[in-house]
Chain A
Amino acid sequence: MADSNDNWYPRNFKRAYVWELPVRVFHWVNFLCIIVLSATGFLISDPPAILSNEDATSQYWFGIIRFTHFAAAYLFTAAIVMRLYWFFVGNQFARWSAYWPWTKEAIKNAKHVVWVDVMLLSKKEHRLEDLSIGHNSVAAFAYLMFFVLFFVMILTGFGLYAPTSEWWLPNMFAWVPSLLGGDFNTRIIHHGAMWLILIISIIHIYLVFYHEWLEGRGEVSSMFSGYKFIRAERMANTYRSPVKQESTKEVEQPAEFDPNDPC
């Protein structure tokens, strides 16, 4: 303990608005849609057989399940379209360039993340920039894959839905099943992509908790408030800690500024 006490000094964090409102709205609409679509999707693929002595005319529960699925699909698609627009007008953390994995910086960051967060190893040298403010580049790549899966879902879903609709929007996707070799294959792809989305979602949720637990920078709350906490040293002007002046109690100060721990 003595060791960490010696290194202690009050960190100065700045509150940065990382996730803008449309990004957060997209996230939660998406969250809701994935839950509703998966739940109704599982029911559609394997409905429970309800024994009932009522006539079919007075029941419509399966129709309602399907209606919910289709309605949620439209909402989901609308949210995706909105997010696509935001790729071009959003802030630096929401822009498409934040998701482009093939830059030198992104690859360097990916190596860091794999070493430190996936393999859980330590690094001798700490760099503040290694700690990402928005998505780290491995996460960004995972979200890119999410989008690929979302497009697969939209294409196959509306493709399957098209023959039951007169509207031009779903009918825009009528070519999909014929390309994939029929409704049967299309349905399997639709079902498999759902599983992939669910599995990546589990990893996503775990990693949010992991980062929050380890780094305590507001990872979880950022998707509600939009704010994340950033070390003041990362600002364009370097701030020194004002705590020293404000504190009335005696504070044990480290001899020198310690850049080692980024959090």
Chain B
Amino acid sequence: MAVTENSQKQETYYESIINQGYSRRDFMKFATFMAAYMGLETSSIAQVVKAMESTPRIPVIWEHFQECTCCSESFIRSDHPIVADVILDRVSLDYTLTLMAASGHQAEAAKHATMEKYKGEYILCVEGSIPMAEEGYCCIAGRSSLDILKEAAAGAKAIIAWGSCASNGCVQAAAPNPTKATPIHKIIKDKPIIRVPGCPPIGEVMAGVIMHVVAFGRLPELDRLGRPKAFYGKRVHDSCYRRPYYDAGLFAESFDDANAKEGYCLYKVGCRGPMTYNSCGSMRWNNGVSFPIQSGHGCIGCSEEEFWDNGPFYERLPNMTGFGIESTADQVGKVAAGVVGAGLVIHAIGANVMKRKELRDRINKGIKTEEQIQA
């Protein structure tokens, strides 16, 4: 048993795919597909093929903490069947408590075996945030999530933070954040972390990221926030098909007006495409069927930091905390300008009263001088 498991671990991705009954042609199609999603040039397809033919499969441990599993859901629905088969297959994925066949002590034992055997080699995928207020808020098998994360991270080669929960905290971290939900990069400081935000991230994006890591054995190019540039380098707005309406200044004012029916830009009904970095406009969702804006709803900025607190979703400006429930920066600004204006009027009246002696004096001096002017 131990021997067969060992030999299975040494399998390359190619072998694993062929063993599952796919043809070489399927494999080539898959490699092309992945290369395209990873944002590689066509000349790099051969590299992807070579990497998958020669590299032994890297073990993946997938942990779930405070989350809703929408990332896993999105992932198993990604476009190409091989993704789910190869990566999420029982054989490939060493530990994921929602999908693995083993359970209970068996599952934990399998995880520990992988962690020990592949120390420093395995990839740790994390879905969900860590409650820092009280460790007991999220426990698995009697252990706190912080404890589990630290243990799993210690031997990991790299960490992939799936979704907004693991990358930014998402809804659990929304004010007042009772559990002090904390994203992974604020806890683990000594490992390379790829942040793949989104609620959930697009399945193909997830596949592209993980394929990049396992096939090339290194991280994709990341931006300043640790997001893969290939998928988070552009704003939704920059690839939105409604962009011509934006530039033409044609906007829907409400979801049921004639402009909305025309398919005009959703900027005025709160679309956050201009502030959101994601691939929705180009990759779309559910096998490229559509994406929120195409379905007539503005982007809610799900891949951006604190997107739950930047509400309301249907207004251009967020409400300001500390200024009442419904006040935006503009309302605060108008009131402040009004108060300042009123203050200045009072000051002007006060100046003419308080300084009346000086004023009268100076006017008289001026008149005197004027009288002295030689005609």
Contact = CB atoms under 8 A, between A and B. Distances in A.
Interface of A: 1, 4-5, 7-8, 10-11, 45-47, 49-52, 56-57, 59-63, 65-66, 120-122, 163-164, 174-175, 178, 181-185, 187-188, 191-192, 195, 198-199, 202-203, 206, 210, 213-216, 243, 247-249, 251, 261, 263
Nearest to A251: B372
Nearest to A52: B250
A47 B275 contact: no
B352 to A, nearest CB: 8
Given A56-B248, A216-B362, A183 B329 contact: no
B337 A202 contact: yes
Contacts of B361: 4, 7, 261
Given A4-B360, A120-B355, A251-B372, A60 B247 contact: yes
Contacts of B252: 49
Given A59-B250, A183-B304, A8 B347 contact: no
B225 A178 contact: yes
Interface in B218-269: 223-225, 234-235, 238, 244-253, 258-259, 264, 267-268
Nearest to B369: A10
A61 B249 contact: yes
Considering residues B248, B252, B258, B307, which has the most beta carbons from chain A within 10 angstroms of its beta carbon?
B248
28 contacts: A1-B364, A5-B368, A47-B268, A49-B251, A50-B249, A51-B258, A59-B248, A59-B249, A61-B248, A63-B247, A63-B248, A120-B354, A120-B355, A121-B354, A163-B234, A163-B277, A178-B225, A184-B272, A184-B301, A195-B329, A195-B332, A195-B337, A199-B333, A203-B344, A214-B351, A214-B355, A261-B361, A263-B362
**Which 9 residue pairs are nearest across A and B when measured between Cβ atoms?**
A62-B249, A195-B333, A183-B275, A59-B248, A56-B248, A178-B224, A63-B247, A120-B354, A49-B251
B317 interface: yes
A91 B54 CA distance: 72
